[in-house]
Amino acid sequence: MMSSSLLIVKNLTVAFTTDEGGFNAVDNVSFEVQKGEIVGLVGESGCGKSVTALSLLRLIPSPPGDIRNGQVLFNSQDLLSLDIKALRQLRGSAISMIFQEPMAALSPLQRIGRQMVETLQLHSSMAAKDAWRQAEEWLTRVKIPNASERMFAYPFQLSGGMQQRIMIAMALMLHPELIIADEPTTALDVTIQAQVFDLILDMREEQTSILLITHDMGVVWEMCDRVLVMYASKIVEQGARDQIFFHAAHPYSRGLLRSIPRLKDNIERLPAIAGSVPSPLHYPSGCHFRDRCPHAFERCAKEEPPLVDLGSGHGAACFIAPDLVHNQDGVK
């Protein structure tokens, strides 16, 4: 199959220095996003998803953050060594980011319409009148009621869900090649969430690629072509959606899948993965998952498991991945 990589991330390592000590929030992470592909990045809270996303565009606050190693090739250009002016030009045009916190992307002191028009005009030679009309259309597309009036509102006059939809409109309206969406729909109710996901799927039809961060495996199933599973600063498994959902080979991915709530179950499901994510200051030696892993054995404490190639783009960082991939009992 012919494929073309829009984004290639190689050996990305991001460290933080805090009063309590230093740690890697992202450790030797590598992955690719092809043109027109939706890639899900999943994992429990604190495992390094947002730090990964922010580092791609060098938006990590430094200090305390420091990109220690790696390459982020976007159309073969390394974003980590690009001069800051060229990088700014790419941000918001070729690459846009939908943040976990909508206010981070909106200017508090400017009316919505004005912000949107300025953004459009910054990246195209559009006349103000056309930009205004296009901005208003986008507000309607993200289901903002009374869009023409809302164009005159300040962000603080709108609800969190409304702010989030405006940020999504601003990210989509420039038709970027890559959208990095970090929990894009957390503040939205399910109906609106579904509508926003439809918009994102429409973008894919235009060959836009999307890195979609979520901890909702249901969303991954609905939306993603491929999945990256992250745990405690590392990618522990990656593969096509069906490889992950039907042939998960890493004990952590298998735990995440078991925790998907099923509609038929009215009972509260027990957390499928015992224990909790350790503090990054205290990741265990060897395999970071070993203190929660039902399969852990001696070697797991001594060596870090390398990514095992399971064929057809599927890989898992576990010593026994080749055995587990053939044994799916009780996973789903």
Ligand X SMILES: Nc1ncnc2c1ncn2[C@@H]1O[C@H](COP(=O)(O)OP(=O)(O)OP(=O)(O)O)[C@@H](O)[C@H]1O
Q: How far is CA 50 from CA 189, 215, 241, in A?
A: 22, 12, 21
Query: Would you say 23 and 281 are in contact if contact means Cβ atoms under 8 Å apart?
Result: yes
Residue number, 180 or 293, with CB nearest to ligand SF4: 293
Query: Would you say 252 and 231 are in contact if contact means Cβ atoms under 8 Å apart?
Result: yes
Q: How far is CA 194 from CA 163, 183, 199, in A?
A: 17, 13, 9
Residue number, 130 or 304, with CB nearest to ligand SF4: 304
193 touching Mg ion, by CB under 5 A: no
For ligand X, the binding residue among 3, 4, 11, 18 (CB under 6 A) is 18
Q: In what order do the strands lie in the sheet with 178-182?
A: 95-98, 178-182, 209-213, 38-42, 226-231, 234-240, 314-316, 308-311
For ligand X, the binding residue among 6, 38, 42, 47 (CB under 6 A) is 47
Residues of this chain, 295-314, that bind ligand SF4 according to CB under 6 A: 295-296, 300, 305
270, 260, 262: which is closest to 217 by C-alpha? 260
**What is the three-class DSSP state of 229?**
strand
Q: Which does 305 bind (CB under 5 to 8 A by kind): Mg ion, ligand SF4, ligand X, none?
A: ligand SF4
Q: Which does 51 bind (CB under 5 to 8 A by kind): ligand X, ligand SF4, Mg ion, none?
A: ligand X
319 touching ligand SF4, by CB under 6 A: yes
Residues of this chain, 114-143, that bind ligand SF4 according to CB under 6 A: none
Query: Would you say 174 and 97 are in contact if contact means Cβ atoms under 8 Å apart?
Result: no
Least spacing, CB of residue 74 vs ligand X, in Å:
20
Residues of this chain, 210-239, that bind ligand X according to CB under 6 A: 215
For ligand X, the binding residue among 11, 21, 22, 64 (CB under 6 A) is 64
Distance CA 154, CA 156 (A): 6
Least spacing, CB of residue 53 vs Mg ion, in Å:
8
**Which residues here bind ligand SF4, judged by CB under 6 A?**
250-251, 287, 289-290, 293, 295-296, 300, 305, 318-320
